[in-house]
Structure 1
Amino acid sequence: MPALKSFLSVLSLVGWTVACAHHGDGAVVPEHKRAELLEKWDQKWAFSGIASFAHLRSVKCLVEPDERYDIAIIGAPLHAAVTYRPGARFGPRAIRATSARQIPGNSYNVRAGINPDRSWAKIIDCSDIPITPFDNGLAERQMYEAFLELGSRKVVNVPPKRDKSIGARHPKLVTLGGDHSVGLPALHQIYQKPITVLHFDIHLDTWDLVRFPAYWQSEQSRFNHGSFFHTASREGLICNSTSAHAGLRTRLIGVNASDYTKLSPEQGFTRQPVYLSIDIDVLDPATAPGTGIPEPGGWTTREFTRVLRGLEKLNLVGADIVEVSPAYDNEGETTALAAAQVVFEVITSLVKSGVAEDLGRGYARSDGGLAQVRSGQLTKDEL
């Protein structure tokens, strides 16, 4: 009898194992059961879940070649090209963590009259480029290849309003840095021809390295977060007659302002494809202390948000948000929080620029904006 009981116990265990294996190996859940499970468990809270950007679906797009999207978040965790404080390789993780308050179902942007996550565009988080920390030359190559791969895929939906524009059939990549050198490979993947760049930064990032002591230079020394726009210009990636800097307050080299005054004029960009390159240090250190080279006297988050909202009618083709260095942030994570808000505003403008309807700006046009104008709460210029 003991032997029989043992045999029956083994049979029972085998049967349970087979049943479990069958259940987990392609078993089909009935539709009514799936609907019940979704209703019961498919809620999102800001404080729960895996840290993708704004709770978007997360995919390792570089190992999923069939994955398609219209707008993709991509992390570029590099800080080996900085010239002062390191730490920006942790920026993508910090920005994702502080974006947790942004939930797709709760993301209606009142000023734009749109929920970017519930519009025409498929938006996903494509995870991070696995950038080596050991070799800047190899890191640069990895980013070139990754951005080219991710930016070359077919879109899911052509934006209704821009179906014939130059960028309509290219996905838009929003890069989370990493130091600002990631902008160089990111620009390469756009169209392989000159485009307009709007550069928000303390610094010019147009250093010509030949103006620095040349004894200890190498070919790789050109790849740093202060020279990448100079390199991009020499490689024919930037339209020098239409691109512009904004937020500058750095000290310059030498005894005059030639570093700035020799730059190209700041006009004529509104009809061009436009790439936004945003260094978080454009904000004042009181707002965003967690960055590599802080300088006092910058914009507040509110001021910069207002600037970004003024760009929504441009033909935006991509963006980077860089130089978030969480090791120098405060306990409230205000730098990463500001960067997450910047990403939200940029994505909103990317989506809105492709919407067929002429949606309102500010708190206007759709419900009550005109009444606010009549009452004096808003000026017509704010609509």
Structure 2
Amino acid sequence: MKLLMLLLSLLQFIYAENLEEKWGGLWPFQGIATFAHLENKNCLIDQSSQFDIGIIGVPFDTAVSYRPGARFGPRAIRDASQRQTSLRGFNPRALFNPYKSWAKIIDCGDIPVTPMDNALAFKQMDEAFNDLLSKKSLNDSKVPPRFVALGGDHSVLLPHIRALHKIYGPLNIIHFDAHLDTWKPDKYPSFWDSDQNEINHGSMLWKAHEEGLTSKTNIHAGLRTKLSGLEDLQDDDEQDFVRIEADDIWLKGPEYVVKKILSTVPHDTPTYISVDVDVLDPGFTSGTGTQEPGGWLPRELIHILRQIEGLTVVGADVVEVAPAYDIAEITATNGAQIAYEILTSMVKKGNLDESLTKKMISTFGSQL
């Protein structure tokens, strides 16, 4: 009887394997759209799942100052990522395939964020990132998994780095954007005011500085925003940001930009990369909330991201994709490519540096 049961189990296994071989080969345009066809789990509900890097959608856009619509960004980026697969995931610029390496990468779904009440929305996002970062990585049990957040407007950076700060301490911020996003609340003057009104997609870096979340080695890249006056740059200086203008990439060359970033941001301390897609020229990002002419080419941004792959990146985001204004998925496709480049760097770098891990354990040991 036992032998018969064993034979039946073996036949079922062979049959299942044949079905997988027969019906498992979907084309990129088929199936349910997870990022790059990755395994999908609701990581906020499935507390037992272990992984190394997660894609997390943050569909929130009610902190914008101009065009809304980025709440649909995570879905659009996932749809635009469908030509990424483990089979065709080799990155020829990095000579590396992030989907076929040591790291388990999954799509963690979305944080359910209310569009009705921003104070409640930030409470939800704060708690969600705290929960997500309370897990342990599958292959590096001393640290939590790392996340690439798909926005959403740019204010979703704040809950992410609040949670990261509890683990890593002050973070270096590399901020690719047309705009400063270190605006003080008085740059949005109004008779009507509230505490929550201080946080929007242009003031969240100011708020992060006020809360002590950022280091003294931060950098903006791709700037070309209009200013209230030179006092805006003084405010930015006070928040410890170095500025790289959009024109620098063709006036001084891409290697100037690379050297400026690497000479500003230490390679062995925790770094957060934030990419607002409006760092690219509107010709490549029509689908975004606050366009600024004269931006970078996608190939220039990709080159910069590839050249700084040695930094210790503990978290990242790609934000401000608003597909209602997009043309032929160009913005969303660029967003998906940016996320892929950041994933490549995270995985290629390997587990977090031993020195960084030791530093974290000595400082935050009770939380690890």
TM-score of the two chains, using structure 2 as the length reference:
0.83
**Counterpart of 1:173?**
147
Q: Distance in 1 between matches of 2:60 and 2:308?
A: 28
Deviation string, structure 1 residues 332-364 (Cα, Å, up to 9, x no partner): 2100000000010000000000079xxxxxxxx
1:232 aligns with 2:205: no
**Counterpart of 1:251?**
226
1:216 aligns with 2:192: yes
Q: 1:212 to 1:100 in 2, by over 3 A?
A: closer
AA aligned opposite 2:155: S
AA aligned opposite 2:234: S
Q: Runs of 4 or more off by more than 6 Å in structure 1?
A: none
**Counterpart of 2:139?**
157
AA aligned opposite 1:335: T
Question: In the alignment, which of 185, 190, 211 is matched to residue 159 of structure 2?
Answer: 185
Matched-pair contact (CA < 8 Å) for 1:252–1:259? no
Q: 1:263 to 1:144 in 2, by over 3 A?
A: closer
Larger deviation: 297-306 or 247-256?
A: 247-256
Matched-pair contact (CA < 8 Å) for 1:155–1:170? yes
**Counterpart of 2:333?**
337
Q: 1:206 to 1:316 in 2, by over 3 A?
A: same
Q: Unaligned regions of 5+ residues in structure 2, if any?
A: 1-8, 243-263, 353-368
In the TM superposition, what are the counterparts of 1:36-75 in structure 2 within 5 Å? Answer: 36-75=18-57
Q: Distance in 2 between matches of 1:286 and 1:150?
A: 36
Matched-pair contact (CA < 8 Å) for 1:253–1:259? no
Matched-pair contact (CA < 8 Å) for 1:71–1:172? yes
**Counterpart of 2:366?**
none
Question: In the alignment, which of 169, 173, 194 is matched to residue 170 of structure 2?
Answer: 194
Matched-pair contact (CA < 8 Å) for 1:44–1:103? no
**CA displacement at 1:261 relative to structure 2:** 4.8
Q: Distance in 1 between matches of 2:291 and 2:76?
A: 18
AA aligned opposite 2:224: R
**CA displacement at 1:121 relative to structure 2:** 0.4
Larger deviation: 250-259 or 74-83?
A: 250-259
Q: Distance in 2 between matches of 1:200 and 1:124?
A: 25
Deviation string, structure 1 residues 135-169 (Cα, Å, up to 9, x no partner): 111111110111111112011112xxxx9xxxx62
Q: Distance in 1 between matches of 2:27 and 2:317?
A: 27
Matched-pair contact (CA < 8 Å) for 1:89–1:178? yes
What secondary structure, in the 3-state scheme, does the structure 2 residue paired with 1:317 have? strand
Question: In the alignment, which of 268, 271, 274 is matched to residue 277 of structure 1?
Answer: 274
Question: In the alignment, which of 281, 296, 305 is matched to residue 293 of structure 2?
Answer: 296
Matched-pair contact (CA < 8 Å) for 2:157–2:274? yes
**Counterpart of 2:128?**
146
**Counterpart of 1:350?**
346
Q: Distance in 1 between matches of 2:29 and 2:303?
A: 28
What secondary structure, in the 3-state scheme, does the structure 1 residue paired with 2:81 have? helix
1:117 aligns with 2:91: no
Q: Distance in 1 between matches of 2:148 and 2:138?
A: 17
Aligned pair count reads: 320
**Counterpart of 1:7?**
none
**CA displacement at 1:265 relative to structure 2:** 5.5
**CA displacement at 1:295 relative to structure 2:** 0.3
Q: Distance in 2 between matches of 1:353 and 1:300?
A: 25
Matched-pair contact (CA < 8 Å) for 2:220–2:241? no
What secondary structure, in the 3-state scheme, does the structure 2 residue paired with 1:244 have? strand
Q: Distance in 1 between matches of 2:212 and 2:45?
A: 30
Q: Identity percentage over the alignment?
A: 49
Question: In the alignment, which of 49, 60, 65 is matched to residue 83 of structure 1?
Answer: 65
What secondary structure, in the 3-state scheme, does the structure 1 residue paired with 2:82 have? helix
**CA displacement at 1:214 relative to structure 2:** 5.2
Q: 1:29 to 1:55 in 2, by over 3 A?
A: farther
AA aligned opposite 1:217: D
TM-score of the two chains, using structure 1 as the length reference:
0.80
Q: CA RMSD in A?
A: 1.9
Matched-pair contact (CA < 8 Å) for 2:133–2:163? yes
AA aligned opposite 1:343: A
What secondary structure, in the 3-state scheme, does the structure 1 residue paired with 2:128 have? helix
**CA displacement at 1:259 relative to structure 2:** 4.3
**CA displacement at 1:109 relative to structure 2:** 1.1
What secondary structure, in the 3-state scheme, does the structure 2 residue paired with 1:125 have? strand
Matched-pair contact (CA < 8 Å) for 2:55–2:150? yes
**CA displacement at 1:254 relative to structure 2:** 2.9
AA aligned opposite 2:226: R
AA aligned opposite 1:314: L
AA aligned opposite 2:75: R
Matched-pair contact (CA < 8 Å) for 1:279–1:322? yes
